[in-house]
Amino acid sequence: MAMGPVLGIESSCDETAAAVLADGRRVLSSVVASQDDVHAPYGGVVPELASRRHIEVITPVVERALAEAGVALGGLAGIAVTQGPGLVGSLLVGCSMAKALAWAHALPLVGVNHLEGHIYAAFLTDDPPDWPFLALVVSGGHTALYHVPAPRQYRLVGQTRDDAAGEAFDKVAKLLGLGFPGGPAIQRVAGQGDPRAIEFPVANMTDGARDFSFSGIKTSVSLHVRRHGPLGERQVADVAASFQAAVVRMLVRKTVRAALHLGVKRLVLTGGVAANAALRAGLAAEAGEHGLRLHVPPPRLCTDNAAMITAAGAERLAAGERAPLTMNAVPDLALA
């Protein structure tokens, strides 16, 4: 896609991010300011603190993205911003910034669905997927399977009935005293443990649906900790490894089954939890066995960033889509 540089802004949760892409796919800069230090003392994201930190850092983050790309505001072809889903106070900071810049510099503006952004991370690699494909989006707020038959078309084929996968990682890490964010902590500790040490149940929907559920595993871990606690270092590692293995088993099984049922030959794995090495390896192995091509962005593009938002937004701008300056944040914006 021949296209001038596009600036993208992401502030849906607890990362303030800005990126500049050329031709919709070439990353000229990608700046991510993490708020982990703000929320770690509370063991989870505190919405009011998140929006306050976004306000403090958004201007320097955008300035740095432009400087690193060597692009001036007047030289942009457009601006993309995450419109939803996410925390409303957080989303508003990015949307206000994007609208102000678009108005001041008379630039085209487009709103992007955060989940579509996660899927577009797969297009920022040397091996982008072709349509149709099945995308497993696993993050702190979402766990969903989308059938993507053609560009910008999404059909929801399965989702979590309770917690998101990342939420389960974060809660179990808290139970094990491993800190926030929980996903990377579990992965680190699980490396020292035995994934077969404890048999945690993998929810199998009795109605055969392609939905996911994580509350059962979370409760089992909680009961295990209460029954056997206080746990030593070795036991914590075994619980972390067994929990991670159970989550991977469920995600892999449901995703591959859905792909075979739909007759789709390509898989995309994305979202913060897709940074997990066990999940990447588990899905790669199972996909290979069934002749499915798996596309997984590198970990830094799986977790929240603005490059993925810019990629999705650039494609919408190229298709002629424009958001009015009255565009607003939509905390429960749906993709399908």
13 binds ligand KG4 per the rule CB under 6 A? yes
In the complex, least distance from residue 121 CB atom to ligand KG4, rounded to whole angstroms? 10
Which of 86/129 has CB closer to ligand KG4?
86
- From the list 122-130, 177-185, 232-240, 290-298, the region that binds ligand KG4 by CB under 6 A is 177-185
Pinpoint the alpha helices (H) of 14-153: 36-39, 47-69, 88-104, 114-120
Among 57, 252, 275, 287, binds ligand KG4 (CB under 6 A): 275
272 binds ligand KG4 per the rule CB under 6 A? yes
Among 163, 170, 211, 238, binds ligand KG4 (CB under 6 A): 170
187 binds ligand KG4 per the rule CB under 6 A? yes
Give me the residues paired with residue 293 across strands. 266
Nearest partner of 309 among 65, 36, 143, judged by Cα: 65
In the complex, least distance from residue 241 CB atom to ligand KG4, rounded to whole angstroms? 12
Which of 46/262 has CB closer to ligand KG4?
46
**Binding to Zn ion, residues 301-320 (CB under 5 A):** 304
193 binds ligand KG4 per the rule CB under 6 A? no
16 binds Zn ion per the rule CB under 5 A? no
Separation in Å, CA 136 to CA 128, 149, 178, 275: 15, 14, 26, 13
85 binds ligand KG4 per the rule CB under 6 A? no
24 binds ligand KG4 per the rule CB under 6 A? no
182 binds ligand KG4 per the rule CB under 6 A? yes
Q: How are beta strands 133-138 and 266-270 bridged, if at all?
A: parallel
Separation in Å, CA 268 to CA 123, 151, 210: 10, 14, 16
- From the list 20-28, 74-82, 218-226, 269-277, the region that binds ligand KG4 by CB under 6 A is 269-277
Give the one entry of ligand KG4, Zn ion, none that residue 154 binds, where binding means its C-beta sits below a cut-off of 5 to 8 angstroms depending on kind. Answer: none
Which of 22/87 has CB closer to ligand KG4?
87
160 binds ligand KG4 per the rule CB under 6 A? no
DSSP label at residue 231: P
Among 35, 139, 220, 270, binds Zn ion (CB under 5 A): 139
In the complex, least distance from residue 304 CB atom to Zn ion, rounded to whole angstroms? 4
3-state secondary structure 156-196: EEEEECCCCHHHHHHHHHHHCCCCCCHHHHHHHHHCCCCCC
**Which residue is listed with tokens 């066995």?**
289
**Binding to ligand KG4, residues 41-80 (CB under 6 A):** none
Tell me which residue has its CB nearest to Zn ion. 139
Separation in Å, CA 134 to CA 41, 265, 268: 37, 8, 6
Contacts of 217 (CB under 8 A, 6+ apart): 168, 172, 200, 201, 202, 203, 243, 246, 247, 250
| Per-residue x/- track, 130-149, ligand KG4 (CB under 6 A) | ---------xxx--------
Nearest partner of 221 among 185, 276, 176, judged by Cα: 176
Among 94, 166, 193, 282, binds ligand KG4 (CB under 6 A): 166
Give me the residues paired with residue 112 across strands. 82
CA distance 313 to 17: 15
Other beta carbons less than 10 A from residue 247's beta carbon:
28
CA distance 164 to 140: 6
Which residues contact ligand KG4 (rule: CB under 6 A)? 13, 139-141, 166, 169-170, 181-184, 187, 271-273, 275-276, 303-304
